[in-house]
Structure 1
Amino acid sequence: MTKLLFLVADGMGDWPVAELGGRTPLEAAPTPNMDALARRCVAGTARTVPQGMAPGSDVANMSLMGFDPAAHHTGRGPIEAAAQGLELDPDDLVWRLNLVRVAGHGPGDAMLDYSSGHIDTGRSTPLVEDLQAHLGDAVFSFVPGIQYRHLLVQRGGARAPEAALDIRPPHDITGQPQGPDLERFASSPRLAELRRAAARRLEAPANTTQANAIWPWGQGRPLLLPAFRQTFGLRGAVVSAVDLVRGLGRASGMEVAEVPGATGLLDTNYQGKVDAALEFLARGGDFVFLHVEAPDECGHSGVTADKVEAVRRFDERIVGPVVRALQGEDAALLLTCDHFTPLARRTHTPDPVPFLLHHPRLADHALPAFSEAGAAATGLTLERGHDLLPHVLERLRG
């Protein structure tokens, strides 16, 4: 059976940037390994975000793994809860909880940083544990996660009014007033009071981080996904630093690799991710979903040079080593991103994403380089992103 490595550069897709002479970061970055694969490949685009759904990594990566978000998605929080293996009741409501930095706590005060300066886990965990010790009760529980990404579990909350609150992701409102969301929080007196009490705890002199507020969002019932192996006939694994991607893998029964030093940032342990993927295949695995978060984080920051560098490192430190390691093996590579994170917007957009499938037997397209425009020009478009994996498997088995 042909082995399949799915290499995902989160948020890599972008729009032409004036600072780059009208090129996208993918076009501007040196990517000799991806470009070599593009010269003999199957390339096209896939719409990973269904119409009417928010263009988040939760929805988009669920699509890439072959599951229809319209049928299975319940919220971002539940996916990250799956990553931690939390025991939940069917009527619990799970919120994603960011530690954020805000200019103040009034409606006119801006969201300054959705990540509290990319707070590290060693400094964020004690803050969340303190919130649980002083504010946790029979309804609300604070659960530590990774870096700025944590969870808030509301027992029985799926039947409560809070389940319907439409709170914007904090990375979507950087530099904008919090007013619309504070108004929605205020519709739940107990959630509003929890946020006020958390802000008071975070004002303590012992907190030397940038975090001065909590931001619950992305709430939903516990996640249930079909078994990946039974659905696709593949023994699969996920390699990622990001809880939501790990959660999708765990919820679908895939193996989830532990990679020391995997940060989700530019300084992530690229070699460790490659080694984990290859080791799983050597043990008889069929499919690896190897995910790199750095391009998305750089897109959110709005720093052009950083995003170009993130794409360059993905090509040099992920794609290159994988290609060399699998030389002569019956293996296929599928390269893509989950969604666009345009530097001009500093948040996600639902543009169809470019993809490139490479295997010695497949030579539908010959592109000079892998890019958004080049993939779109082939005319191969999958309007349902969750059809991409079945389409690839059909081509490989055909």
Structure 2
Amino acid sequence: MKYAIVIPDGCADEPQESLGGKTPLQAANVPNMDAIAKAGVVGRADNVPAHLPAGSDVANLSLLGYSPLEYFTGRAPLEAAAQGIQLGPDDWAIRCNLVTIQDQIMKSFTAGQISSDEAKALLETAQAELGGEGIEFHPGVSYRNLLVYRGQPGSAPFSMETRTTPPHDLSDKSVADSYPRGLGSGWLSEMMSRSVELFANHPVNVKRVSEGKPPATNVWLWGLGKQPALTPFADLYGKTGKMITAVDLLRGLAALIGWDRIEVPGATGYLDTDYAAKGQYAIDALDSTDVICVHVEATDEASHEGDIPEKIKALEAIDEKIVGPLHAALKKHGEYRIIVLPDHPTFCRTKTHSHGFVPLALCGSDVEADAFDTFDELNADASSLSFDEGWKMMPYFLGV
């Protein structure tokens, strides 16, 4: 049996007045996702427990079959694993976004989709001026970077109760009340504050401003945590897996659960990603794994920008260039199952992640069809197939 998982990140949404009361998923032309719904079952899953942050870290951990109540230790450690950064028992990883803040308003949580080369130059300056023994800035992809704090035995610089705020939750909002709170918050805030002066006249920003682009005004620190201990997927579920993604969070999760990671040329983690290449690489991987997982960030990015037309465009590209070809290839392999579901809702209205159920559509050679024939939030809400604890979806999907 071959298994395929397609994750259109954050695609679940609410009805839009501009779409005549439809959600972006309902308004999008997604015949291949609808074909899965018609041939199989529609349901819903809640991947984020109410007391945990509604982030992709918790949500994707849950989606992949791991209870965040047991395994979640923070977002940044998952991304550290993607970069091959080893964390000791006293070390902390901290997400280090490059952002644009003007008059205490989060104008861009991506610093205008800053390039990886520009980010690297800024982080090198941060390392030279703010880093040192036990303080390591690690460039990642675009605005997504890391700060590693090497702790000492017996010390507790931070805690899991240290409060930080994801910058994507602050789009076009004041950041005044969203700086770190709790143990270690003073140090985190100081690093953020010192980076403002450091970046003000940096050559990267001088050039960006001259080109009409937003500058990276400072680093924003959040999502800190310690190294998690995840049971290998093969030990939990008896299946091998491979991950296709352009996002370090998912790369890190894959590494920590023992999945191979497939790097696809042209996969950007943004709206300009190469959907067709992702689809083809997924098809090519079917011969060498039990489970292939394709994660696409574009729908989430469109939501964070509040761009409904781009969200629909991304959904249609995922449907045409990934879901359709992959489903057709699975049928040729013989027995199979395929599921499509986002990790969490991301509302275009609020431009941020939300708690709540997401729709899922699942079909396969051994799945009996239900009465639903379209993949959307409305049908998901009406279905009797519900995973109130989202991590219980995976054993259902795998039939184990």
Are residues 192 and 185 of structure 1, via their aligned partners in 2, closer, same or farther at CA, if it must alter by over 3 Å?
farther
2:166 is aligned with 1:169: yes
- Give the drift of 1:297: 0.4
CA contact (8 A) 1:303 1:343 kept: yes
Q: Deviations over 1:271-325 (max 9, x none)?
A: 2222222222212x10011100000000000011111111111111111111222
- Give the drift of 1:363: 2.1
- Give the drift of 1:326: 2.5
Which one of 382, 385, 396 corresponds to residue 377 of structure 1? 382
User: 3-state SS of the aligned residue for 2:204?
Assistant: coil
Are residues 44 and 135 of structure 1, via their aligned partners in 2, closer, same or farther at CA, if it must alter by over 3 Å?
same
CA contact (8 A) 1:14 1:342 kept: yes
CA contact (8 A) 1:40 1:366 kept: no
> 2:15: which partner in 1?
16
CA contact (8 A) 1:93 1:163 kept: no
Which structure 1 segments of 5+ residues have no match? none
Runs of 4+ in 1 over 6 A off after TM superposition: none
- Give the drift of 1:189: 4.0
Are residues 54 and 205 of structure 1, via their aligned partners in 2, closer, same or farther at CA, if it must alter by over 3 Å?
closer
> 1:134: which partner in 2?
129
- Give the drift of 1:127: 1.2
Q: Normalising to structure 2: TM-score of the pair?
A: 0.93
> 1:68: which partner in 2?
67
Q: Deviations over 1:55-87 (max 9, x none)?
A: 100000001110011111110101100111102
Which one of 312, 317, 326 corresponds to residue 313 of structure 1? 317
CA distance in 2, matches of 1:175, 1:383: 32
- Report which stretch shifted further, 194-203 or 59-68: 194-203
Which one of 130, 151, 157 corresponds to residue 156 of structure 1? 151
The one-letter amino acid of 1:94's match is: A
CA distance in 1, matches of 2:73, 2:180: 23
- Give the drift of 1:183: 6.6
Which runs of structure 2 are paired with 1:1-398 in the superposition (5 Å)? 2-104=1-103, 109-156=104-151, 159-161=156-158, 164-182=161-179, 184=181, 188-208=185-205, 209=208, 210-283=215-288, 285-329=289-333, 330-394=335-399
What fraction of aligned residue pairs are identical, expressed as a percent?
38
- Give the drift of 1:197: 2.2
- Report which stretch shifted further, 134-143 or 200-209: 200-209
The one-letter amino acid of 2:4's match is: L
CA contact (8 A) 1:263 1:269 kept: yes
Are residues 386 and 186 of structure 1, via their aligned partners in 2, closer, same or farther at CA, if it must alter by over 3 Å?
closer
User: 3-state SS of the aligned residue for 1:159?
Assistant: coil
CA distance in 2, matches of 1:199, 1:333: 47
User: 3-state SS of the aligned residue for 2:5?
Assistant: strand
CA contact (8 A) 1:185 1:191 kept: no
CA distance in 2, matches of 1:187, 1:37: 48
User: 3-state SS of the aligned residue for 2:181?
Assistant: helix
Query: How many residue pairs get matched?
Result: 389
Q: Deviations over 1:185-206 (max 9, x none)?
A: 8974433332222112211240
CA distance in 2, matches of 1:162, 1:40: 47
CA distance in 2, matches of 1:5, 1:163: 34
Q: Deviations over 1:151-178 (max 9, x none)?
A: 0111118711465421111111112221
CA contact (8 A) 1:6 1:290 kept: yes
CA contact (8 A) 1:141 1:152 kept: yes
CA distance in 2, matches of 1:271, 1:134: 42
User: 3-state SS of the aligned residue for 2:393?
Assistant: helix
Are residues 37 and 91 of structure 1, via their aligned partners in 2, closer, same or farther at CA, if it must alter by over 3 Å?
same
Q: Deviations over 1:349-390 (max 9, x none)?
A: 111111111113212313231111112212111111000010
RMSD: 1.7
CA contact (8 A) 1:128 1:144 kept: yes
Are residues 162 and 129 of structure 1, via their aligned partners in 2, closer, same or farther at CA, if it must alter by over 3 Å?
farther
CA distance in 2, matches of 1:186, 1:196: 17
CA distance in 1, matches of 2:235, 2:183: 45
User: 3-state SS of the aligned residue for 2:252?
Assistant: helix
CA distance in 2, matches of 1:183, 1:254: 34
The one-letter amino acid of 2:72's match is: H
The one-letter amino acid of 1:101's match is: T
The one-letter amino acid of 2:367's match is: L
CA distance in 1, matches of 2:4, 2:162: 38
User: 3-state SS of the aligned residue for 1:274?
Assistant: helix
User: 3-state SS of the aligned residue for 1:202?
Assistant: helix
